[in-house]
């Protein structure tokens, strides 16, 4: 009898697993809460303007992942060069940093940073604060890391686990020579020759084409894709899930792959309370009536701006906006249900002022239109106690013998698209070999410690 597998969540991990199983003739039902597939890898379309959910581009050292992406995109795959930036000390700088960053630093900051490089005391503990102080010193901590973290997460670095920095800082560097894990390596990064040109895969009119094609592939193989269906109940008998309730339908199943938030899986399985939290993001998609003023695909903002990052869709593909015009996707983080989440329009005037003040736009008159898109569960928050809390939750859910957790939300895993694809391909292989789902190891989570040239976590 052909096994019926229900995959919950149509993000990159869920789509990869479902497509691989369906391709091999397995009966698959993919259930997604939102009315669209892709999770964070989707594209909003407003007439001739197109916006991804923040910046996305495919890059991997894993040949199997690259082959999978190329197979999905087919002839539509295009190659683009890297162009990322950061705004620090009142100026824009390319990332990885170049020597020009030193010219914009006040002399006093340069002096204090130099002292930090040669004379700083080791700070004990597992916090992000201790990790930054030990690597970069107090000067950079106070002028950049602490204010940026408070703006982005609404939390102090002292209340976060050091894994937050390991995942968020180290993985931002694509050129393997340009590490940023100590103040000395940061200095070496700025003094390196021009970085090796790195190319990325992308798809015209947005990264969402990748997700849309996987949905079509699943359906072409006889799989079901149910969009706009939130899972409301799991029927458990003798340590197994026998049915998944979603959108008024009860779907009988033999196996369940869960890529939605791990907290929701725990609640439906009667486990809790689970003290794990996700950050959410408000995306302000501005239609701009003139060409882009800043050349970067995306830019980090470490100052007092309301937003933490802005991306330019036309820097990925010129066709993302009409000729002579452009777009700006501005990200503001929040917690689902807080004041920002409830009244996102209240921030618009301040965001526009900050865009003009930083030079991202020439003036507020450049704005021709705005679309505000709230997105849940964009980042796992690594609090100080998250390792023990996550381990406890994984052990409890491991008692459900036919349940497999996967992906960014399912594994509480701050990763990239290539890691989710790599993990999904490996998991699908093991499911197809007949391995029990509860016994499938997701692979190492500490992908930020991989040596150069290694495969993404999960492979």
Q: What is the CA radius of gyration of the chain?
A: 22
User: Are residues 265 and 281 part of one domain?
Assistant: no
- Is 180 a domain residue? yes
Number of neighbouring beta carbons within 10 Å of residue 175? 16
10-residue mean pLDDT profile of the chain (459 residues): values are 88 98 97 96 98 92 92 93 85 70 68 70 91 84 87 94 80 48 56 64 95 98 97 97 96 97 97 93 98 94 92 97 98 96 98 97 98 97 95 94 96 91 95 91 55 35
What pLDDT shows up at residue 192? 56
**Is residue 172 located within the same domain as residue 92?**
yes
Instruction: Please give the pLDDT value at position 459.
Output: 31
pLDDT, residue 173, reads 44
Last residue of a domain, one of 381, 398, 431: 381
Write down the pTM of the prediction: 0.90
Residue ending a domain, choose from 191, 224, 259: 191
Q: Which residues contact 54 (CB under 8 A, 6 or more apart)?
A: 40, 281, 283, 298, 309, 311, 329, 331
Model pLDDT, residue 174: 42
pLDDT at 144: 81
* 92 and 135 together in one domain: yes
Contact assessment for residue 355 and residue 363, using Cβ atoms and an 8 Å cutoff = no
Q: Do 271 and 283 belong to one domain?
A: no
Look at residue 459 and tell me if it is in a domain. Answer: no
What is the reported pLDDT for 66? 93
Quick one: 187 and 214 in the same domain? no
Domain that holds residue 135: 84-191
**Residues 251 and 391 grouped into a single domain:** yes
Strand partners, 378: none
422-to-59, 258, 357 alpha-carbon distances in Å: 12, 16, 41
CB crowding 206-238: b at 16 or more within 10 Å, else e: bbbbbbbbbbebbeebebebeeebebeebebee
Domain total of the chain: 3
Task: Note whether 267 and 284 are same-domain residues.
Answer: no
289-to-313, 314, 324, 325 alpha-carbon distances in Å: 14, 13, 7, 5
Confidence at residue 98, expressed as pLDDT on a 0 to 100 scale? 60
Question: Does residue 245 belong to any structural domain of this protein?
Answer: yes
Any residues with CB less than 8 A from the CB of 455 and at least 6 apart, and which? 61, 62, 65, 422
| Residue 117: per-residue pLDDT | 66
Q: How far is residue 278's CA from residue 40's CA, in Å, rounded to a whole number? A: 14
Q: What is the pLDDT of residue 191?
A: 53
Q: How far apart are CA 164 and CA 82, in angstroms?
A: 24
Both 138 and 162 in a single domain? Answer: yes
The maximal CA–CA distance of the chain, rounded, in angstroms, is 73
Answer yes or no: is 394 within a domain.
yes
User: Would residue 56 count as lying in a domain?
Assistant: no
397 and 270 in a common domain: yes
What CATH number should be reported for the domain holding residue 141? 1.10.3110
Q: Running DSSP on this structure, what letter comes out for residue 321?
A: S
In a domain, 201, yes or no: no
Residue 358 inside a domain? The answer is yes
pLDDT of residue 60: 83
User: Is 287 found in the same domain as 236?
Assistant: no
> Looking at the structure, do residues 350 and 373 belong to the same domain, yes or no?
yes
Do 30 and 104 belong together in one domain? no
């Amino acid at each position: 009898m052909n096994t019926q597998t229900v995959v919950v969540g149509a993000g990159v991990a869920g789509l990869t697993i479902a497509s691989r199983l369906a391709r091999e003739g397995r009966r698959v039902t993919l259930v997604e809460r939102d009315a669209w597939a892709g999770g964070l890898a989707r594209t909003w379309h407003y007439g001739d303007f197109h916006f991804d959910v923040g910046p996305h581009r495919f890059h991997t050292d894993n040949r199997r992942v690259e082959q999978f992406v190329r197979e999905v995109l087919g002839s539509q795959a295009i190659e683009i060069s890297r162009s990322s930036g950061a705004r620090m000390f009142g100026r824009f700088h390319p990332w990885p940093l170049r020597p020009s960053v030193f010219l914009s630093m006040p002399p006093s900051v340069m002096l204090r940073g130099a002292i930090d490089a040669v004379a700083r005391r080791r700070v004990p503990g597992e916090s992000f604060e201790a990790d930054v102080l030990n690597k970069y010193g107090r000067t950079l901590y106070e002028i950049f890391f602490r204010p940026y973290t408070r703006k982005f997460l609404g939390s102090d670095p002292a209340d976060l686990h050091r894994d937050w920095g390991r995942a968020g800082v180290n993985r931002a560097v694509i050129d393997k020579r340009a590490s940023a894990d100590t103040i000395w390596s940061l200095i070496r990064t700025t003094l390196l020759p021009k970085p090796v040109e790195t190319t990325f895969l992308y798809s015209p009119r947005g990264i969402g084409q990748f997700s849309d094609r996987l949905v079509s592939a699943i359906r072409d193989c006889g799989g079901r894709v149910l969009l706009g269906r939130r899972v409301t109940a799991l029927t458990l008998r003798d340590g197994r899930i026998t049915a998944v309730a979603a959108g008024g339908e009860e779907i009988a199943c033999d196996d369940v792959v869960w890529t939605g938030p791990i907290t929701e899986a725990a609640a439906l399985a009667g486990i809790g309370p689970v003290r794990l939290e996700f950050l959410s993001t408000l995306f302000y998609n501005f239609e701009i009536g003139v060409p882009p003023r800043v050349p970067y695909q995306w830019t980090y903002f470490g100052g007092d701006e309301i937003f933490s990052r802005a991306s330019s869709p036309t820097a990925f593909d010129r066709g993302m906006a009409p000729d002579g015009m452009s777009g700006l996707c501005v990200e503001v983080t929040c917690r689902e249900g807080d004041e920002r989440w409830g009244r996102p329009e209240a921030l618009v005037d301040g965001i526009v002022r900050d865009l003009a003040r930083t030079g991202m736009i020439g003036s507020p008159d450049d704005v021709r239109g705005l679309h505000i898109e709230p997105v849940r569960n964009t980042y796992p928050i690594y609090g100080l106690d998250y390792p023990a809390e996550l381990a406890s939750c994984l052990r409890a859910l491991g008692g459900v013998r036919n349940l497999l957790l996967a992906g960014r939300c399912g594994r509480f895993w701050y990763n990239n698209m290539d890691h989710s694809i790599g993990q999904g391909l490996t998991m699908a292989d093991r499911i197809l070999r007949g391995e029990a789902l509860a016994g499938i190891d997701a692979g190492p989570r500490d992908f930020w410690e991989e040596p150069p040239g290694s495969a993404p976590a999960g492979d």
